[in-house]
A and B are shown apart, each in its own frame.
Chain A
Amino acid sequence: MEEVLETQVVVIGGGITGAGILRDLALRGIKAILVEQGDLGHGTSTRNHGLLHSGGRYAVRDPEAAVESYHENLILKKTIPGSIEKTGGLFVKLPEDDDDYAQKWLRSCKKLGIPVEEIPVEQALREEPYLNKKAQAVFCVPDGAVDDFTLLVDVCADAVRRGAKTLTYHKVTDIVTEQERVVGVCIRDVLTGMEKEIRADIVVNAAGPWGMEIAGMAGVPLKIINNKGMLVVFSHRFNKRVINRLRMPGDGDIFVPAHDVTIFGTTGVNTENPNDFSLSRPELEHMLADGKALIPSIDDMRLIRAYSGSRPLYQTSAGRGSSGRDVTRGMALLDHHERDGMDGFITITGGKLTTFRLMAEKTVDLVCEKLGVQANCTTNVETVSGRRTGDSFNKADIAPAARHKLRNWAGVQAPKIESALKEEESSHIVCECEQVTWAEIEAAMPEKGSFRLGGIRRRTRLGMGPCQGTFCNFRAAALAAEKGRATIEEADGALLHAVSERKKGMGVVATGETARQLLLMETIYRVSLGFGEEAHQNV
């Protein structure tokens, strides 16, 4: 007989929206299970720019979204400090950018209360030497950089600590309905193939670009257009602050510093398939040509990889009756009872990483209303434990760079990692580019479940540097096998998967050093380690 679980709320989707909802539910004492088909962050939530918007970008086009962003920006900096770097941001006006827009922008920011401060161009050029010398005016805004991996992991961990459950690598295969009412979901463990059912009072569809599929399972019409954007990663961090172009938002006009790299983007192309993560060289070239206006030496800099993700854009037209409760134009909260006569089912979609907390708040307000629970949202004040650990790791015998990383990274894992580091082998650096020790890798491995390098990468930055895992992927896999944390087959499989995944992201940017790096990687894996063509088939 198949396993049946029971809970109050099922949240479909382990992106940032689902994670935020799970935590909010837990804080309000509502039992919930989050179901995610892959690892946390399988979708758009780890495939975006990582910009904590100040609202500046939307000040002219979408004032409502701008205010929401600014408001959330302030809350997140306080409540989830471990995943946010308060870099600040610049809006830069170039000679070819419209003066009128700049004037409108300034007026709108002022009206909306978004703090803007003009700085002398010379000062901006001194601080950001790669910026176009022709810049006409430069304004500072309170943008920030978000680490979307740690954000997601920490928000979920906080929810779990408060009693919520997560089921990763579990795919929702069907939605169970009884007389115009959703009563649960059917799920399948994608690793074992085992089928299960979860009975619940309410099911929340937070499946992002897959939202349409989920709605379809409940027989509810929903139209989402997936707008795919491409991003590229530079091999090092060449800017201190976020650099935006002061013009009507377009392609290729934001540079976000993210730890040791700079992320640049983006584009927008509609796609039917939510699983479409394809990358296009012409699209990349077009984007780089745009980016050159802000950073003229862009072509001389080394790109290490590219990736893409889709923005789910809700289309009001497809609903019957009311258009649902549009929180703003970008963010849609749909009560399918009100909208389609299907009780116990809610869809939340659109929005931004920056506004995930607000989206969760609105969603859980609606859940409470439906469940008749009286509880206020507290995520605007309750903090998620941070990541910076002051002067810990003093005694560890590791390079200062590795110590520095741990102090900004280890968070609640610090005591565990610190004691593991006492063992000499655990203090070996496995990933040199990002200074990841074996102790960290071990701490990032799940208690049960199979060995996967992707999950470790997202939790430790293993293989995220310029060599893209040329050396550390096989080191990590070999160590895991040696230490009994993975079988040889698991280690091999994980390695093949990781390498082919890295190669996809590198392939499209592979010119110059990255082409040579790819060649070196191929040589090591194909020739030295004897991995054959499977690397290509395993994609």
Chain B
Amino acid sequence: MLDPNILETTYEKCLKCNACVASCPVSGVTLDFGGPKHLGPELKRLVDNQQIIDDKRIEFCTLCGNCDMSCPENVHVSTLTAYAKAIHTEKSGFSFRDFVLSNAELVGKMASAFAPVTNMAMKMKPIRKMMEKMMGIPEDRQFPNYQFKNFNRVYKNKTSGSKRKVAYFVGCYATYNAPEVAGSFVKVMEYNGIEVAIPRQKCCGIPMLANGRMNRAQKNASDNIESLLAYTRRGYDVVATCTSCSLALKKEYLSINGTDEARELAAHVYDADEYLRMLKEEGELNVNLAPMKDRAGYHAPCHMRAQGMGNPAMDMLELIPEYDVQDLGAGCCGQCGTFGFKKEKYDVSMKLGRTMAESVKDLGADYTVTECGMCKNQLDQLTDKAVKHPIQILAESYERAKRAI
């Protein structure tokens, strides 16, 4: 049984100012959502130590974290909405579809075991029709491709011999869907004389939180904390290429796990670009980057912004000579993890994505850059431009520089 009386008490501080509602991308496009203030701090207060109230509208929350960023009182709004999701899931039962979507890891393993078939199946109409019927995944929704040569099968380094040591939190997306991102990261680190180790890891838990599976998310959190601490205590820094994963390790674990260990780990976690920027500040970065004449539009994922670290991807890309990158400044993409995969949320998801799609079009760049695999999925769906991870661009620039020598 889920204990709804979590010791997350920041809701006490809410002044009802509505800043979170104004910043919530979902509230901006639909009246069917109760909004962050009500479904976060307000509802939590009404159920604490009392009868539980289940509000179905919480399904619309994408856990993007915009509400957290806007709150002047530092209320952990999206942690509270995650709990409302957990309550809803427990009360309404868990649909098979949400099970599949919240289990990125399991699905990743299953799908990449026979990847070519899965990818085909995902594109085949009759199967998609059936998925829509049975699981409520909209027929028109594109899926990320699953790679047979998933990253786990390719890279198996468990320790690092270099002076700076990085424990890479690969995350489900780079492991199963985009091993090229993971590969680029390893390369970029090599160019900086850092050997990368891959610790034992589980899905960060964000998809589970988003689907109200609090218990599972908590379990993954404690497993990951244990495994990663074994590294940080030996001088490793934990680095992630997925901004949702880094957000989970830095912030969500403090709320859903809340132990001293969670706190200890959080202090050692970096987003990949943030890490590189730190190397630069310390004078350790290899700045031998070859010029690139591309024009790119950068889309900032919500979970990157939620980390309050400025914009490290832009900072890094701007180091590449002649590279022209502009921030799309488009807000939430609308895919929002597993949200946009759900039939009943599809319309909202598409509405949310429209601003982003429009700014991509207006900018007319060669391609789009973003850290988040789920944002990429939405970009793939709504625009005809290619989408890359910043680490891929950096890897390419380093490579060109090496070839030039």
Contact = CB atoms under 8 A, between A and B. Distances in A.
Interface of A: 129, 235-240, 257, 259-260, 301-302, 399-401, 404-405, 432-433, 435, 465-467, 470-471, 513, 516-517, 520
A432 B38 contact: yes
A236 B42 contact: no
Given A471-B16, A513-B12, A400 B53 contact: yes
Closest 4 CB pairs of A and B: A302-B12, A400-B55, A467-B16, A240-B49
Interface string B250-274: 0000000000000000000000000
Interface string B38-53: 1000110110111101
Contacts of B9: 301
Interface string B95-125: 0000000000000000000000000000000
A513 B15 contact: yes
A433 B53 CA distance: 15
Contact of B55 (A129, A257, A399): A399
A236 B12 contact: yes
B17 A520 contact: yes
Interface of B: 5, 7, 9, 11-17, 34, 37-38, 42-43, 45-46, 48-51, 53-57, 73
A191 B205 CA distance: 62
B13 A513 contact: yes
A404 B51 contact: yes
Given A399-B34, A471-B16, 7 more contacts: A129-B7, A237-B49, A259-B50, A401-B53, A405-B46, A465-B45, A513-B15
Contact of A235 (B12, B34, B38, B54): B12
A388 to B, nearest CB: 11
Per DSSP, chain B at the interface is loop
Contacts of A404: 46, 51, 53
Contact of B48 (A237, A400, A516, A517): A237
Contacts of B45: 235-236, 260, 433, 465-466
B43 A467 contact: no
Nearest to A465: B45
Contacts of B7: 129
A376 B56 CA distance: 52
A291 B34 CA distance: 37
Contacts of B14: 466
B13 A302 contact: yes
A435 B46 contact: yes
Contact of A260 (B37, B50, B57): B50
A399 B7 CA distance: 25
A401 B43 contact: yes
A516 B13 CA distance: 10
A405 B43 CA distance: 12
Contacts of B13: 302, 513
Nearest to B51: A404
Contacts of B73: 513, 516
A510 B128 CA distance: 58
A237 B50 contact: yes
A236 B9 CA distance: 10
B12 A466 contact: yes
B15 A129 contact: no
16 contacts: A129-B5, A235-B45, A236-B45, A238-B49, A259-B50, A301-B9, A302-B13, A399-B55, A400-B53, A400-B55, A400-B56, A401-B55, A404-B51, A466-B14, A470-B15, A513-B73
A432 B12 contact: no
Contacts of A237: 48-50
A235 B45 CA distance: 8
Contact of B15 (A240, A257, A467): A467
A402 to B, nearest CB: 10
A450 B90 CA distance: 47
Given A129-B5, A236-B11, A513-B73, A401 B46 contact: yes
A460 B292 CA distance: 66
A214 B73 CA distance: 50
Given A236-B48, A435-B46, A516 B53 contact: no
Nearest to A405: B46
A428 to B, nearest CB: 13
A400 B7 CA distance: 23
A301 B12 contact: yes
A471 B13 CA distance: 16
